[in-house]
């Protein structure tokens, strides 16, 4: 068992950092302490999903969200987080090396101001329930853009009905493609929690609660409609249900947002993760629900044509990379996804 000094600022900031989003709620982060100030952040290779995220792009985006939470938490305690990305050199963008993603030194600095977005960290949750269908106004999109430095990671937004329906169709097709591969199905089933009992015995993944179903509905669905046994023995049925659900989720959005970068190096992905986290935290402050729509922009070869279609639909040049695609809208909150104990990340 790892014993922590509760007075160590690094413990306090990490308790906020690990509330960051990650693909399938895999929480693919490793940390280590060096000296009295430094945190070393790396990718946990045992928590990668190479079928769904073959080059680890989503994992590095999640590392960026982790760092943004850490930075916000440090400022709230009167510390400056000096973040040195990829201190061992520029990494390859197609493989996940063992090298650290960042060295972070926490320096006491009473001149730093607490960012109000820090207060939204424990309230920010990926909301997979059906949204109300009410349009997100352009003014809200403007506030999301103003929540971060958008010069390197621009935000696109539309609440056009035709575009939302087109994205919904592409997202449904993308879900079907994703679940047509045995390895990708296995990864999805590994992190999907079909019953409350599975949720209670897990510290990662996500389940029906994050889709807004109540206790009785979760019991009925997990027992009779979509059980682990049925999904495993009949992945085609699982795929049909997921495709239908995805189309309905996206079609009911009040708006579609996306973050893109000119390049697709690891630093671009980390920057996109930090930007995405600030966008999501600001969305929480504005009373907006948000859910990533990751399948249509996945990096495996099966998705290449559809990914090009998303670029064309959104007007993003083929030379750029859409790092995050997400739906926005209005909905009641959902329970938080579980988190591992802090000691498990060391």
Q: What is the pLDDT of residues 129-174, one digit of tens each?
A: 999 989 999 999 999 999 999 999 999 999 999 999 999 999 999 9
Dihedrals phi, psi of 158, to nearest 5 degrees:
-150, 140
Compute the distance between CA of residue 248 and CA of residue 179 in angstroms, rounded to an integer.
17
Domain boundaries, the chain: 9-123, 138-329
- What's the confidence (pLDDT) of residue 273? 98
Largest CA distance in the chain: 59
Adjacent-strand bridge partners of 39: 33, 104
Least confident of 117-126, 202-211, 251-260, 307-316: 202-211
Lowest mean pLDDT among 122-131, 168-177, 233-242: 233-242
Q: What does the DSSP 8-state code read for residue 20?
A: S
Q: Identical fold at 9-123 and 138-329?
A: yes
Q: Which two tokens stand for residue 49?
A: 């999903």
Q: Please, are residues 204 and 338 in contact by the beta-carbon 8 Å criterion?
A: yes
Percent of the chain with pLDDT strictly greater than 70: 99
Residue pLDDT, tens place only, 176-224: 999 999 999 999 999 999 888 898 999 999 988 888 777 877 877 777 6
Cα(49)–Cα(298) distance, rounded to whole angstroms?
A: 12
Domain 9-123: assigned CATH number = 3.40.109.10
Give the confidence band of 2 by pLDDT, cuts at 50, 70, 90.
Answer: low
Supply the Cα-derived Rg of the chain in whole angstroms.
19
What's this model's pTM, rounded to 2 decimal places? 0.96
Half-sphere exposure of 112 (CA within 13 A, CB side): 19
Fold of 138-329: NADH Oxidase (3.40.109)
Tell me how far CA of residue 161 lies from CA of 188, 251, 313, in angstroms.
30, 9, 13
| pLDDT for residue 1 is more than 60 | no
Average pLDDT over residues 119-130: 96
What span, in angstroms and rounded, lies between the C-alpha atoms of 68 and 211? 26
Using pLDDT thresholds of 50, 70 and 90, give the confidence band for residue 232.
confident
CA distance 172 to 183: 19
Please name the residue ranges forming H helices in 121-264: 138-145, 161-178, 182-191, 196-200, 215-220, 228-233, 235-251
Take residue 191 and report the two structure tokens written for it.
């992190």
């Amino acid at each position: 068992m790892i014993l922590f000094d509760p007075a160590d600022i690094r413990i306090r900031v990490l308790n906020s950092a690990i509330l960051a989003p990650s693909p399938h709620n895999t929480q693919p982060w490793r940390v280590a302490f060096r000296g009295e100030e430094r945190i070393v952040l790396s990718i946990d290779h045992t928590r990668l999903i190479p079928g769904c995220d073959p080059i680890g792009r989503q994992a590095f985006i999640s590392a960026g969200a982790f760092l943004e939470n850490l930075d916000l938490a440090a400022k709230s305690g009167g510390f400056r987080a000096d973040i040195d990305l990829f201190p061992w050199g520029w990494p390859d963008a197609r493989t996940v090396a063992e090298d650290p993603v960042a060295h972070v030194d926490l320096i006491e600095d009473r001149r730093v101001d607490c960012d109000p977005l820090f207060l939204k960290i424990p309230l920010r949750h990926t909301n997979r329930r059906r949204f109300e269908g009410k349009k997100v106004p352009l003014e809200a999109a403007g506030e999301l853009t103003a929540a971060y430095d958008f010069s390197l990671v621009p935000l696109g937004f539309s609440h056009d009905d035709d575009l939302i329906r087109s994205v919904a169709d592409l997202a449904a097709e993308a879900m079907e493609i994703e679940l047509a591969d045995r390895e990708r199905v296995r990864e999805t089933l590994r992190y999907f929690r079909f019953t409350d009992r599975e949720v209670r015995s897990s510290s990662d993944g996500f389940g029906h609660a994050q889709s807004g179903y109540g206790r009785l509905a979760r019991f009925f669905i997990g027992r009779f409609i979509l059980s682990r046994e049925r999904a495993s023995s009949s992945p085609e049925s699982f795929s049909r249900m997921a495709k239908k659900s995805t189309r309905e989720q996206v079609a009911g959005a009040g708006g579609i947002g996306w973050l893109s970068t000119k390049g697709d190096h690891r630093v671009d992905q980390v920057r996109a993760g930090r930007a995405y986290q600030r966008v999501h935290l600001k969305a929480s402050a504005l009373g907006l629900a948000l859910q990533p729509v990751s399948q249509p922009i996945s990096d495996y070869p099966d998705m290449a044509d559809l990914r090009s279609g998303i670029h064309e639909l959104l007007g993003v040049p083929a030379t750029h990379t859409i790092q995050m695609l997400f739906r926005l809208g209005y909905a009641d909150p959902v329970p938080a996804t579980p988190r591992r104990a802090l000691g498990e990340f060391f």
